[in-house]
Structure formats: C-alpha cells, structure tokens
Amino acid sequence: KNENLALPVGITLDRFIMRNQEAFQFASGELSQLLRDIALASKILNREINRAGLADVTGLLGSQNVQGEAQQKLDVIADIRFLRALKNGGEVCAIISEEEPEIILTGNNHAKYVIAIDPLDGSSNIDSNVSIGTIFSIFRRKTPIGSVPSLKDCIQRGDEQVAAGYILYGSSTILVYTTGKGVNGFTYDNSLGEYFLSHPQMQVNQEGTIFSCNEGNFYDFPECIQEYLTECKQKRYAGRYIGSLVGDFHRNLLKGGVYLYPPTRHNPDGKLRLLYECLPLAFIIEQAGGKASDGKQRILEIQPQNLHQRSPLYIGSSSMVEAIEECCKEMDKQF
C-alpha cells in the first residue's frame, strides 16, 4: 500500500523514516539507512557552521580542529563530512560532489544507490551569516550490483530519482526531502540532537507573487525573461533574492513564488548545476505541486551529458513557471 502516510507533527525523522519503510513492503532498509547517514552528516556540519564565526574571530577553534588539521573553509569541511558519512554508511557505490571533479567510487560495489550532492551551496554567504544549504539527489544504480559503478550510473534523468532533499542551515536548521510520496520538512532541535517533523506534506501555492533572481544580470537575460520580470514589477510583485539557492527556494516553497537563474553573458547555460542543484529541487517542487523548467522543457526530462553541466532554472509556483515558458515560446517563434 503506497498511500501518503499522515504522520503526527513532532514525530522524529528516524521514526518517520521507519514508518515510511514499513508502508512500502519492498523496502529493504538501505534507502532508510542512507537518509539517516545524510541526516547525521548534516548534524555534524550544522555544529561546524554554528561555530565557524568563532573560528574566524577568536582563532580558538580555528587554528586546529580535533584531528589537528588546519581550519579549513566550510565548504571543504562539508565535503569531507558528507563523503566520510556516505562512505562509512556503506549505502552508496558512487558519489558526485560539486567539490570533486570526478566520480568518487566508495568501494561499496554491492551498494545499490548513487548520490549527487552539493555539500554546501552558497558558501560565499557564510561570512555574511546568510543561510546556506546542502542539496542531494539519490538514484538507483544502472550497472549490476557488485560491479564497479560507471558514468551511466551517475548521469541519469531527473525523473529516475529515488529521493531528493536539502538541509537549510538558517535561523533554524531544517531538512526537507521526498521519496516520491510527497514532501516533508523536519526542524532540528540542537539541544536534543534530533530532527522533528514540522512541515508535513508540503505544497507550494499554484500562484505566487515573489520573484527571485539576480537582477544585476538583467541586461544579459533573454528578452522574454526581461519581459516577464517587467510584468512582475508592473504587478507590484515582491523581489526577494538572498543569493543562496536553498534559502530562496525554501521561502518560495512556503510562500509561493518563482526562482530564476537565466542564461547570462558569464554563464550562457545558466550558473546552476543540473545534477545536484536543479534535479533534486525539481523533484521536490513537482512533489509539492509546483514546476521546474529550463525555459523549454521540464528539468526532470533533461538527459544529463556530464557530471557538472549547468542549466538555466525557473522553479516554483506552477502558474509562474508556465508564464515564463510561455514567454520563452513566444520568443522562439519570433526567430
């Protein structure tokens, strides 16, 4: 029976994962364990993030960490923490990370999952204390269990995802994920070291009045995007952009709105990475009733060609994404 489980607010993430596993007879526990491994790494990273400022200011924590290593940039720490947790967890045979040019083979060749992860997105915002985030996407491997994973395990279409999620390290730390049965949000209680269900069955409004993009690039945007943004302003919509994808995405998920990262002169294919930024958020937004497009097609239908390819991204309330696609189609007709 695959119905959406209506579980009480306040249930812990562990209990929620178990209840969902029980509800899907086929579940053998590996995906549950993988989700737990991700949650654990996020708790460790959350602690590092919360004291990063101290490291810079006092140097007390900065000069040496427990392993005697020199204090490193948080995004390197995040990469190390997640890679270690994922390797030790034993549930993934390969990892694609924004911080690593090549596929990381974990050596767990009997594991059936592959994960694509942006360990710490928006890390340029850390020094200004702006929210940052981890984004992840989980696929079932295509190659036989026991064999060495290959590129084709790692460049699968977004509609092949088994699970996707993000952790937002903001005024509170919240973990949001989907396994294809709706979207649920869990808020972290530092004092207990536990995530608790706080946002069950999240749904994004079909309409929205918030647009999020870096208007500094306005004159680089395709004309149809300039036109769409002008219409938003004529309607006196709200411009909200914190320059941290997970923070902008999460606010729009809760309040309705659209995030745009169009092609620019500096990034003619857009800036965001398809595999570990666009795909997971596209899976989440569609599960929450919204849409994600590159202006021409559904993000989840794009066939990735390489690990770190970029894509334009328009994501959020369905009517806003549809309006953007409409603009782009009109534009195409003119040429």
Binding site membership for substrate: which residues?
A: 121-124, 214, 241, 259-261, 271
Least distance in angstroms from the C-beta of 14 to ligand P6P: 29
To ligand P6P, the closest distance from the beta carbon of 245 in angstroms equals 3
Query: Pseudo-torsion of CA 61, 77, 271, 275, nearest 10°?
Result: -160
AA letter at 308: H
Q: Does 280 bind ligand P6P (CB under 6 A)?
A: no
> DSSP label at 6?
-
Q: Is 270 in the site for ligand P6P (CB under 6 A)?
A: no
* Binding status of residue 245 toward ligand P6P by CB under 6 A: yes
Q: Which long-range contacts (CB under 8 A, 24 or more apart) does 20-26 make?
A: 20/179, 20/181
For ligand P6P, the closer CB: 43 or 251: 251
Residue with tokens 């959350």: 46
User: Burial, 36: exposed, middle or buried (Cβ in 10 Å; 0-12, 13-18, 19+)?
Assistant: middle
Name the residue nearer to ligand P6P (CB basis): 163 or 245. 245
Least distance (Å) from ligand P6P to the CB of residue 264? 8
Does 121 interact with ligand P6P (rule: CB under 6 A)? yes
Q: Is 32 in the site for ligand P6P (CB under 6 A)?
A: no
Task: Report the residue from 29, 107, 239, 243 that binds ligand P6P according to the rule CB under 6 A.
Answer: 243
Closest-CB residue for ligand P6P? Answer: 214
Q: Which two tokens stand for residue 163?
A: 């699970």
| Whole-Å CA distances, 205 to 136, 250, 258, 291, 317 | 24, 13, 11, 11, 6
Residues with Cβ within 8 Å of 152's Cβ and at least 6 positions away in sequence, in order, are 142, 143
Q: For residue 244, state whether it binds ligand P6P (rule: CB under 6 A).
A: yes
Sites for ligand P6P among residues 197-236 (CB under 6 A) = 214
> HSE-up of 257 (CA within 13 Å, CB side)?
20
Closest separation between CB of residue 178 and ligand P6P, Å?
Answer: 20
Q: How many residues does the chain have?
A: 335
Binding window for ligand P6P (CB under 6 A); candidates: 52-60, 139-147, 241-249, 300-308: 241-249
Query: Judged by CB under 6 A, which stretch of 34-42, 202-210, 239-247, 317-325 contacts ligand P6P?
Result: 239-247
Which listed range, 47-55, 144-152, 159-167, 243-251, lies at the site for ligand P6P (CB under 6 A)?
243-251
* Cα–Cα distance for residue pair 131/123, rounded to 1 Å: 9
Residues near ligand P6P (CB under 6 A): 121-122, 124, 214, 243-245, 248, 271
